[in-house]
Structure 1
Amino acid sequence: MEESQEAQPVGDVPEGANQHCPGTGAEEAGKAAACAGCPNQQICATAPKGPDPDLAAIAQRLQAVKHIVLVLSGKGGVGKSTFAAQLAWHLAHQDKQVGLLDIDICGPSMPRLMGLEGEEIHQSASGWSPVYVDDRLGVMSIGFMLPNPDDAVVWRGPRKNSLIKQFLKDVDWGELDYLVVDSPPGTSDEHISAVQFLKAAHVDGAIVLTTPQEVSLMDVRKELSFCHKVGLNVLGVVENMAELQVPLSSVRFSHQPTHSARTTTATSAASVFPNGETNSHACEEGSGAAESGGEDVTVRVLEALQQLFPGPLLLSTDMFHTGSGGGGEAMARTMGVPFLGRVPFDPSLGRAAEEGRSAAPERADADGGAGVGAGVGAGHEGGAAGIREKQKAEGLSPGPASLLRIFDKIVSAVEKSNCR
């Protein structure tokens, strides 16, 4: 039997309202069973009913936007905002006019992710002007309105919903090919309001981010159920941080001396350079091999591996135990939604996010090809640092390459949605 859809509030939900509030615009406002004992019951019961005039204003404002895509996640910390930022960068690099709207009111991160910290919103006769990265990519976030980026936004639901409505109604985006909306994690009141506000604007659908472990998939199933209940099309699921996957040239090898108290054999360890520093720098700073007393043998190991396996090499290892859940792909199949692909945990993506830039500024071979891990064994002038520079020059690392494949699928799915 098909699951019955839960009624969604009509109009605003007053502060302090009971659970299952029908909304101030509903015919049963103040009269429904859920209204019993609510401090707003009398006001809602006597208030005039009718369609929210702001919904028509939102539809009017967004009529020049061809495609609207929401980016959702069931849980925080899965890379949703980074994904939304990189999607916006990618679309802009395809000569599309793009808007990026951050409706994560209590956790705005787009000013940092887009390299726009310290910028402010300007108002004109036509409305609020987005903050532009360049002439193809504009951004709007409450982060631009905070006097101090460390200030907490301590707002209840109605006030957050009011700002989301104002963003949709008053921001002058102009003509856009894509509006990418970065939502807060979970299935909160803001999600219900955003879907309601955007209903007349014809949203193409949502992309849902997850990580492979079951604790994340549990919440994503709820997110997908939410999309079903509110009639929001799911463009697909993306599994982020699927595995650690880096070119071997980004790895440091150290040879640990044998120690009779611990082991009778020498061991070797590999650790990833999250900031791309050289091996000599790590030794000088007292990290890694130098700190543990091991000998840095990176260049010798890379040269030996190249003798055995000519060509690019990639280091891969699982990041999470998927348990019985089977990961994002199995979950998407069970839930009957498209699976768009996996994005490995790649330090280059983290660096791009921290530096507020695109991880793939140039359109490269999305299949990775020779670019993935290139440089190992192709000459070792300059040691491991030289190998790393050659890899960077010849192609994208695995994370950005995976993103490009997924972004192409998203564009294809949006173009087939025919919402406009």
Structure 2
Amino acid sequence: MSGGEEKVTVKGCGGDEARRLRELKETIDLQENIMEIKHKIVVLSGKGGVGKSSVAANLAVALALAGKKTGLLDVDIHGPSIPTILGIEGTLPGQDEGKIIPVPYNDNLKVMSVGLLLGDQSEAIIWRGPAKHGVIKQFLSAVAWGPLDYLVVDCPPGTGDEPLSVIHLLGSADGAVIVTTPQDVALTDVRKSVTFCRQLKLPLLGVVENMSGFACPHCGEVVDIFKSGGGERLATEMDVPFLGRIPLEPEMVSAGDSGKPLVEHHRELAAASAFSSVVGKIVAAVD
């Protein structure tokens, strides 16, 4: 430069600044999305294999059948089963103006899951905590949920990254539904889930005791395969509402495999009636 001229430096938008702007936009989108959701319910279990996803799916379907605008978000990153339970496996979410369009189950229920994004259902997702947090944030901020009466979030078992991310990102959820089976080995882990919710100041809507007794379809005798009443005793012990018992029925297994939720396709069964009672208590608690 010639003498007397000053060198002018124009500050550009570097990598860090671009990242901050992207994160700011995601935060704004997240807040705008959440503002359109009246009630947010997180479904947890301390242990796998207790039927948590079946409870979450039937809860969401029951709300939708009752005329409530409902979203079902499956954040079980490593074992997403909601698409199979609802019979929407292989259906890809749409896109519109940069937003992800959740898959409709019916007129009142929208669904989002990592399982809907996998071309090969046998593909293993090998992600660490930050990657899982990122995709959960995207599911809450970039998915066009629209106005909802309820968002039901199906979390993986335990008290790890996924439920922690969900509770943090939602900011204020109406509460958690904790699913257990009656035997002691499951109840021990449920106590941890109750403690987890209390430490995070997440209200506890109650405990559901799943697989509580089996009624023989031939003779009618009730057999307590996993004992009975353990979930109710734990709820009393830890001062948590008890939402009810869901009996074990063969049709529940076939309903989950065939994508025909019990509360919609087998309303005559005791388990479907039990689900309806549980849903009624949850609605009464949050409304």
Q: Match for residue 238 of structure 2?
A: 335
Q: Does 1:320 align with 2:226?
A: yes
Query: What secondary structure does 1:405 align onto?
Result: helix
1:335 Cα offset (Å): 0.8
1:104 Cα offset (Å): 0.5
Asked if the contact 2:46/2:159 (under 8 Å) is kept, the reply is yes
1:232 to 199, 202, 208: 202
CA distance in 1, matches of 2:130, 2:110: 26
1:166 Cα offset (Å): 0.5
2:257 to 340, 349, 354: 354
Q: Which protein is bigger by CA-based radius of gyration? A: 1
Partner letter of residue 282 of structure 2?
I
CA deviations over 1:78-98 (Å, ceiling 9, x no partner):
000001110111011111111
> Could you list the runs of 5+ residues in structure 1 that have no partner in the other structure?
1-47, 252-269, 271-313, 363-391, 416-420
> Could you list the runs of 5+ residues in structure 2 that have no partner in the other structure?
1-18
Q: Match for residue 97 of structure 1?
A: 69
Asked if the contact 1:349/1:400 (under 8 Å) is kept, the reply is no
CA deviations over 1:21-48 (Å, ceiling 9, x no partner):
xxxxxxxxxxxxxxxxxxxxxxxxxxx9
Q: How is 1:280-299 mapped onto 2 (pairs within 5 angstroms)? A: none
Q: Match for residue 213 of structure 2?
A: 243
1:407 Cα offset (Å): 1.1
Query: What secondary structure does 1:361 align onto?
Result: helix
Asked if the contact 1:238/1:328 (under 8 Å) is kept, the reply is yes
CA distance in 1, matches of 2:272, 2:227: 23
1:360 Cα offset (Å): 2.7
Asked if the contact 1:245/1:398 (under 8 Å) is kept, the reply is no
1:315 Cα offset (Å): 2.5
Poorly superposed stretches of 4+, deviation over 2 Å: 52-57
CA distance in 1, matches of 2:148, 2:262: 23
Q: How is 1:50-69 mapped onto 2 (pairs within 5 angstroms)? A: 53=24, 54-69=26-41
Q: Does 1:119 align with 2:91?
A: yes
Q: Match for residue 279 of structure 2?
A: 407
Q: Match for residue 159 of structure 1?
A: 131
Q: Does 1:220 align with 2:92?
A: no
Asked if the contact 1:217/1:327 (under 8 Å) is kept, the reply is yes
Asked if the contact 2:132/2:161 (under 8 Å) is kept, the reply is no
CA deviations over 1:317-376 (Å, ceiling 9, x no partner):
111246xxx6111111111110111111111222211111221327xxxxxxxxxxxxxx
CA deviations over 1:192-229 (Å, ceiling 9, x no partner):
12111111xx3111100000011000100000000000
CA gap of 1:143–1:73, structure 2 versus 1, over 3 A, is: same
Asked if the contact 1:126/1:172 (under 8 Å) is kept, the reply is no
Q: How is 1:15-414 mapped onto 2 (pairs within 5 angstroms)? A: 53=24, 54-125=26-97, 127-199=99-171, 202-246=172-216, 250-251=217-218, 314-321=220-227, 327-361=230-264, 396-414=268-286
Moved more, 147-156 or 223-232: 147-156
Alignment TM-score, normalising by the size of structure 2: 0.88
CA distance in 2, matches of 1:158, 1:351: 36
Query: What secondary structure does 1:59 align onto?
Result: helix
Query: What secondary structure does 2:126 align onto?
Result: coil
Asked if the contact 2:213/2:227 (under 8 Å) is kept, the reply is no
CA distance in 2, matches of 1:77, 1:129: 30
RMSD of aligned alpha carbons: 1.9
Query: What secondary structure does 2:264 align onto?
Result: coil
1:133 Cα offset (Å): 1.2
Q: Match for residue 16 of structure 2?
A: none
Partner letter of residue 281 of structure 2?
K
1:110 Cα offset (Å): 1.0
Partner letter of residue 37 of structure 2?
V
Query: What secondary structure does 2:263 align onto?
Result: coil
CA distance in 1, matches of 2:58, 2:78: 21
CA distance in 2, matches of 1:225, 1:56: 31
1:74 Cα offset (Å): 0.3
